[in-house]
């Protein structure tokens, strides 16, 4: 079903035929009640003299028109699809003079199809509802400072808009004036307003709560983060999950098998002289109706689409059903340290000169090099250097700069080869003893230690500290309660610093001093050992490790388009609390998928036995086995929408199903 462009399913011609069929069927029932059936004659002839019979026939034709053509086409290509099965069942029912049943099948099957398409279409479209949350007009600021109200859809990158308290931000941009708390729930799922001031990014459709903001647009109107989310969700919805593929394969055997059983039921008992041919023919028809795999086939996609959509509405972008299924199943999660379990906002705590270069000069040499790097360590060193005495370069000429991921940076400074980074970068297989006690002392204090060296001679050490994310220990404990029993910390940082963080958050295992390839290998090993694993990290630096996991999860997607693109699941908020929510949605979806499939199969099995035994009529088969089962499966999937992320201040287990 390509539901994106389809209008409301309730007003299509199929829908109208369904209503008409239902009305005629009801009219037929009233007629039967008031005037009764015509004279009792067997077979098709009974209908001829029966007013109600004609009405039922009309109902069957009108409702059946929705699928007769498809059914006939399927029959011609010898494909046993549900349209063919239902067409055959209706034809059979008319043939044996059961117009009421024929009409019931036509009407109820049409109704079931309608309900299914509406459920899927609604789930798909609720992502467009997200786009409708964005405001329609914006207050544009002209060159001369005057204001003009324009349609928000006309805004272009570079234009300035004003947003008053209580108004929604019309476009992605940066604050150029003012400050305010902005509720970003529409984009990130966090309900607590985020403080915004000059230089901070803001997103279309978020709510400006209490201040006045002037914003310079950074995107065109059709290209906002919200649009990107909607686009990715639509793509995700159209991918088939592994279970969906499996069920479709299964249906390819199920339907012919039950159809064959139906033919046998029609033919064999009468040949053996058991009961009348008419009786067995009707039981066989009932089996034909049961052979229709509708509820079974819809069970998975309706649940997965529902999971993806409701997660997106809470700021968790899942880029395909397969990730819902694998995150729901996994009991192992690997975490990157810097920026994931820690805030990634490092601070320089110690500068220890080892030779005759002063601490101040050492710091500025490091800063001169690190200005070219984007690593959090580099940012911290540059920031600290500029805070303590300005960023003079002391006339250094930095040439041949190179960043070595997981190791540090090197360059030629005034003809000498300078390295800033790990010991390994300074000299492979070197050891820390030549730094005296300083190195050990810093490490034992949980610091990340960076060595600055020139031509292989250590000049000094820089110690940095990173703060734990306050929510991290709670989130990991929660995940453990909910079945993630293997939690592993992966980092390029040194053992001590890694262990300090690992102990503080409570992971099971710490794997430190890993280079980027080492992280990939470690993730592969974890995936193998636990038959599947997720990895949470930084979507940019950890992209290879994220790709090596079954599910790569990155945080802070709202601020980083690259993160959204590389991760399998992007948490729009920079908040670990969204992780247990993402897992809960996935876990519930997985359970619902399994339950729904078992339920649909169970119902069919019971009905099939009943049909052969003569306890289940055609009407019951289509009412319960088709419409009822589809409806139950769909309603079940809607439970996902009621799952909400835990918010600050909620009771400890606040994201249970309401």
Segment interacting with Mg ion (CB under 5 A) among 196-204, 251-259, 443-451, 536-544: 536-544
Q: Of 253, 325, 297, 652, give the one whose Cα is nearest residue 474.
A: 652
Q: Which of Mg ion, ligand ADP, none is residue 408 near (CB under 5 to 8 Å by kind)?
A: ligand ADP
Residue 172 or 538 with smaller CB distance to Mg ion: 538
Query: Closest residue (Cβ) to ligand ADP?
Result: 492
Contacts of 545 (CB under 8 A, 6+ apart): 334, 336, 490, 516, 519, 520, 522, 523, 535, 537, 552
Residue 487 near Mg ion by CB under 5 A: no
Alpha carbon distances (Å) from 248 to 262, 294, 306, 565, 633: 21, 10, 19, 29, 16
Residue 338 near Mg ion by CB under 5 A: yes
Which neighbouring-strand residues pair with 137? 151
Q: How far is the CB of 389 from ligand ADP (least distance, A)?
A: 20
Q: Which of Mg ion, ligand ADP, none is residue 92 near (CB under 5 to 8 Å by kind)?
A: none
Neighbours of 300 (CB within 10 A): 28
Given the residues 50, 172, 336, 542, select the one marked as catalytic. Answer: 336
Show the tokens assigned to 613: 């035994």
Q: How far is the CB of 338 from Mg ion (least distance, A)?
A: 4
Q: Which of ligand ADP, Mg ion, none is residue 373 near (CB under 5 to 8 Å by kind)?
A: ligand ADP
Q: How far is the CB of 519 from ligand ADP (least distance, A)?
A: 7
Q: Which of ligand ADP, Mg ion, none is residue 491 near (CB under 5 to 8 Å by kind)?
A: ligand ADP
Q: Which residues, numbered 139-168, are part of the site for Mg ion (CB under 5 A)?
A: none
Segment interacting with Mg ion (CB under 5 A) among 77-85, 310-318, 323-331, 337-345: 337-345
Chain centroid to Cα 37, Å, comes to 55
Dist. CA 151–CA 139, nearest whole Å? 9
Q: Report DSSP letters for 486-504, one per residue.
A: EEEEE-SS-HHHHHHHHHH
Which neighbouring-strand residues pair with 398? 413
Dist. CA 56–CA 98, nearest whole Å? 9
Dist. CA 642–CA 657, nearest whole Å? 6
Q: How far is the CB of 489 from Mg ion (least distance, A)?
A: 12
Return the DSSP state at 3.
Answer: T
**How many residues sit close enough to Mg ion to count as binding (CB under 5 A)?**
3
Do 536 and 486 form a contact (C-beta atoms < 8 A)?
no
Q: Which of Mg ion, ligand ADP, none is residue 406 near (CB under 5 to 8 Å by kind)?
A: ligand ADP
Secondary structure of 534-571 as H, E, C letters: EEEECCCCCHHHHHHCCEEEEECHHHCHHHHHHCCEEE
Q: How far is the CB of 542 from Mg ion (least distance, A)?
A: 6
Q: How far is the CB of 539 from Mg ion (least distance, A)?
A: 10
φ/ψ region of 464 (left if φ > 0, alpha if ψ in -120 to 50, else beta) reads beta
Segment interacting with Mg ion (CB under 5 A) among 95-103, 534-542, 550-558, 610-618: 534-542
**Angle between helical axes of 242-271 and 294-313 (0-180°, round to 10):** 160
Residue 100 or 522 with smaller CB distance to Mg ion: 522
- Is 508 catalytic? The answer is no
Q: Which of Mg ion, ligand ADP, none is residue 9 near (CB under 5 to 8 Å by kind)?
A: none
Q: How far is the CB of 337 from ligand ADP (least distance, A)?
A: 4
Of residues 180, 188, 342, 541, which one binds Mg ion by CB under 5 A?
Answer: 541
The number of residues making up the chain comes to: 658
Residue 295 or 341 with smaller CB distance to Mg ion: 341
Q: How far is the CB of 463 from ligand ADP (least distance, A)?
A: 11
Q: How far is the CB of 560 from ligand ADP (least distance, A)?
A: 15
Q: Which of ligand ADP, Mg ion, none is residue 448 near (CB under 5 to 8 Å by kind)?
A: ligand ADP
Q: Report DSSP letters for 422-449, one per residue.
A: -HHHHSTT--GGGGTHHHHHHHHTT-EE
Q: Which of ligand ADP, Mg ion, none is residue 421 near (CB under 5 to 8 Å by kind)?
A: ligand ADP
Q: How far is the CB of 450 from ligand ADP (least distance, A)?
A: 5
Q: Which of ligand ADP, Mg ion, none is residue 377 near (CB under 5 to 8 Å by kind)?
A: ligand ADP
Residue 374 or 393 with smaller CB distance to ligand ADP: 374
Neighbours of 331 (CB within 10 A): 17
For β-strands 486-490 and 509-511, DSSP reports them as parallel
Residue 112 or 512 with smaller CB distance to ligand ADP: 512
Segment interacting with Mg ion (CB under 5 A) among 221-229, 386-394, 537-545, 641-649: 537-545
Q: Which of ligand ADP, Mg ion, none is residue 550 near (CB under 5 to 8 Å by kind)?
A: none
Dist. CA 639–CA 520, nearest whole Å? 37
Q: How far is the CB of 444 from Mg ion (least distance, A)?
A: 23
Residue 182 or 378 with smaller CB distance to ligand ADP: 378
Residue 94 or 352 with smaller CB distance to ligand ADP: 352
Residue 288 or 341 with smaller CB distance to Mg ion: 341
Residue 322 or 538 with smaller CB distance to Mg ion: 538
By the criterion CB under 6 A, which residues form the site for ligand ADP? 336-338, 370, 373, 375, 377-378, 406-409, 420-422, 448, 450, 491-493, 541
Environment class of residue 333 by beta-carbon count within 10 Å: exposed (0-12), middle (13-18) or buried (19+)? buried
Residue 301 or 492 with smaller CB distance to ligand ADP: 492
Q: Of 17, 24, 20, 16, give the one whose Cα is nearest residue 99.
A: 24
Dist. CA 134–CA 130, nearest whole Å? 8
Half-sphere CA count of 177, side-chain side, radius 13 A: 8
Dist. CA 307–CA 158, nearest whole Å? 36
Residue 325 or 538 with smaller CB distance to Mg ion: 538
Q: How far is the CB of 380 from ligand ADP (least distance, A)?
A: 9
For CA atoms 569, 571, 575, 578, the dihedral sign is negative
Q: Which of Mg ion, ligand ADP, none is residue 601 near (CB under 5 to 8 Å by kind)?
A: none
Residue 81 or 370 with smaller CB distance to ligand ADP: 370
Residue 563 near Mg ion by CB under 5 A: no
Q: Report DSSP letters for 254-313, one per residue.
A: HHHHHHHHHHHHHHHHHHTT-S-HHHHHHHHHHHHHHH--HHHHHHHHHHHHHHHHHHHH
Q: Which of Mg ion, ligand ADP, none is residue 407 near (CB under 5 to 8 Å by kind)?
A: ligand ADP
Dist. CA 50–CA 334, nearest whole Å? 71
Query: Closest residue (Cβ) to Mg ion?
Result: 338
**Which residues are annotated as catalytic?**
336
**Contacting residues toward Mg ion, per CB under 5 A:** 338, 538, 541
């Amino acid at each position: 079903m390509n539901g994106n462009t389809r209008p409301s399913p309730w007003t299509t011609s199929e829908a109208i035929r369904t209503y008409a069929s239902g009305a005629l069927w009801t009219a037929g029932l009233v007629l039967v009640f008031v005037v009764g059936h015509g004279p009792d004659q067997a077979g098709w002839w009974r209908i001829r003299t029966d007013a109600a019979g004609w009405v039922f026939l009309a109902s069957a034709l009108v409702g059946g028109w929705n699928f007769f053509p498809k059914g006939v086409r399927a029959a011609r290509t010898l494909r046993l699809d549900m349209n063919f099965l239902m067409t055959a069942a209706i034809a059979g029912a008319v043939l044996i003079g059961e117009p009421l049943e024929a009409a019931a099948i036509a009407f109820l099957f049409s109704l079931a199809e309608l309900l299914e398409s509406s459920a899927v279409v609604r789930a798909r479209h609720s992502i467009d509802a997200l786009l409708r949350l964005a405001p329609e007009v914006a207050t544009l600021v002209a060159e001369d400072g005057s204001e003009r109200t324009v349609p928000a859809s006309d805004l272009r990158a570079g234009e300035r808009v004003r947003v008053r308290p209580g108004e929604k931000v019309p476009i992605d941009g940066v604050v150029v004036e003012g400050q305010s708390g902005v509720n970003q729930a529409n984009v990130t799922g966090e309900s607590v307003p985020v403080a915004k001031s000059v230089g901070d990014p803001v997103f279309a459709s978020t709510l400006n709560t209490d201040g006045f903001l002037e914003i310079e647009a950074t995107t065109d109107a059709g290209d906002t983060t919200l649009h990107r989310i909607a686009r990715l969700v639509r793509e995700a919805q159209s991918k088939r999950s592994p279970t969906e593929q499996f069920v479709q394969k299964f249906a390819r055997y199920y339907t012919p098998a039950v159809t064959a059983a139906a033919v046998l039921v029609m033919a064999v008992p009468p040949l053996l002289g058991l009961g009348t041919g008419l009786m067995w023919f009707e039981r066989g028809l009932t089996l034909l109706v049961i052979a229709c795999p509708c509820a079974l086939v819809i069970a998975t996609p309706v649940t997965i689409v529902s999971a993806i959509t409701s997660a997106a509405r809470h700021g968790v972008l899942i880029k395909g059903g397969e990730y819902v299924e694998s995150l729901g199943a996994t009991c192992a999660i690997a975490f990157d340290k810097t920026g994931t379990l820690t805030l990634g906002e490092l601070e320089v705590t110690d500068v220890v000169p080892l030779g005759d270069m002063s601490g101040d000069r050492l710091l500025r040499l490091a800063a001169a090099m690190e200005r070219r790097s984007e690593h959090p360590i580099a940012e911290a060193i540059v920031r600290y250097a500029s805070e303590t005495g300005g960023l003079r370069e002391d006339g250094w000429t930095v040439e041949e700069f190179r960043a070595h991921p997981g190791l540090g940076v090197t360059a030629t400074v005034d003809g000498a080869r300078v390295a800033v980074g790990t010991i390994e970068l300074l000299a492979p297989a070197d050891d820390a003893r030549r730094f005296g006690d300083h190195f050990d002392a810093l490490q034992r204090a949980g610091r990340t230690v960076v060595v600055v060296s020139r031509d292989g001679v250590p000049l000094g050490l820089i110690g940095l500290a990173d703060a734990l994310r306050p929510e991290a220990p709670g989130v990991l404990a929660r995940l453990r309660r909910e079945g993630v029993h293997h939690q592993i910390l992966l980092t390029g940082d040194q053992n001590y610093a890694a262990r300090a963080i690992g102990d503080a958050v409570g992971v099971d295992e710490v794997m430190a001093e890993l280079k980027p390839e080492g992280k990939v290998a470690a993730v592969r090993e974890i995936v193998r050992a636990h038959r599947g694993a997720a990895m949470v990290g930084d979507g940019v630096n950890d992209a290879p490790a994220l790709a090596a996991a079954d599910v790569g999860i990155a945080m802070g997607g709202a601020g980083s388009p690259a993160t959204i693109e590389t991760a399998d699941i992007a948490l729009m908020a920079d908040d670990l609390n969204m992780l247990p929510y993402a897992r809960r949605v996935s876990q519930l979806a997985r359970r619902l998928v399994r339950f729904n499939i078992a339920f649909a199969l169970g119902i069919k099995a019971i009905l099939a036995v009943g049909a052969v035994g003569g306890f289940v009529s055609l009407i019951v088969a289509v009412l319960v086995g088709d419409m009822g089962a589809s409806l139950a499966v769909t309603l079940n999937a809607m439970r996902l929408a009621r799952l909400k992320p835990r918010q600050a201040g909620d009771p400890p287990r606040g994201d249970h199903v309401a």
